């Protein structure tokens, strides 16, 4: 593993990919979306329970690489309890963070550990996949999400 790669797979990311948080089916979800990244083989289902405008519960299931799994795991922790508008805001900040490695306002919190991903364009799709899926959930779209 090169130095750059070991920087990418830092401890927090490895921890979340080995022991993903909120990794289960949510039986009383009122929104579900599926996301696929055919290039890498990442495939996740995101379960969301919306309580009015607020995300009261968010979980996920599926399989994929360490980056996508860690991203989904951290995402569920960060978005639980947030409103739709807050979630959108965090998504935009996260998007900037993994595209440029900079930015990542105060909202990004733990997501800042994903900043190193911007150096690996192939991995950006892995990191963003769960976010595209949850965005589809929030918008009520039904079609499966694909990065291609």
Q: Is 109 strand, coil or helix?
A: helix
Q: Is 66 in the site for Zn ion (CB under 5 A)?
A: no
Q: How far apart are CA 17 and CA 78, in angstroms?
A: 16
Rounded to the nearest 10°, the torsion over CA 100, 105, 109, 113 is: 20
Q: Is 135 in the site for Zn ion (CB under 5 A)?
A: no
Residue 92 belongs to what H/E stretch? helix 84-100
> Which position among 12, 32, 40, 112 is part of the footprint of Zn ion (CB under 5 A)?
40
> Which position among 50, 98, 111, 126 is part of the footprint of Zn ion (CB under 5 A)?
126
Q: Is 68 in the site for Zn ion (CB under 5 A)?
A: yes
Which residues does residue 146 pair with via DSSP β-bridges, in sequence order? 36
The nearer residue to Zn ion, 55 or 126, going by C-beta atoms, is: 126
> Which position among 42, 73, 91, 113 is part of the footprint of Zn ion (CB under 5 A)?
42
Closest C-alpha to 131, from 82, 85, 74, 81: 74
The nearer residue to Zn ion, 80 or 123, going by C-beta atoms, is: 123
Task: Pick the stretch among 26-34, 38-46, 47-55, 69-77 that binds Zn ion (CB under 5 A).
Answer: 38-46
Minimum CB separation from Zn ion for residue 122, in Å? Answer: 8
The DSSP result for 4-28, as a single string, is HHHHHT-HHHHHHHHS-TTBS--TT
Positions that interact with Zn ion (CB under 5 A): 40, 42, 64-65, 68, 126
């Amino acid at each position: 593993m090169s130095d750059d790669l070991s920087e990418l797979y830092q401890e927090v990311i490895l921890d979340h990919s080995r022991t993903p948080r909120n990794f289960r089916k949510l039986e009383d979800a009122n929104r579900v979306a599926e996301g696929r990244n055919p290039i890498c083989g990442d495939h996740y289902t995101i379960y969301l329970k919306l309580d009015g405008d607020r995300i009261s519960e968010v979980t996920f299931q599926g399989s994929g690489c360490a980056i996508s799994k860690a991203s989904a795991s951290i995402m569920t922790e960060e978005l639980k309890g947030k409103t739709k508008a807050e979630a959108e805001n965090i998504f935009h900040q996260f998007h900037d963070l993994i595209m440029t490695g900079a930015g990542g306002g105060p909202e990004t919190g733990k997501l800042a550990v994903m900043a190193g991903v911007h150096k690996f364009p192939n991995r950006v799709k892995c990191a963003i996949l769960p976010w595209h899926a949850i965005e589809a959930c929030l918008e009520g779209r039904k079609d499966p999400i694909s990065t291609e």
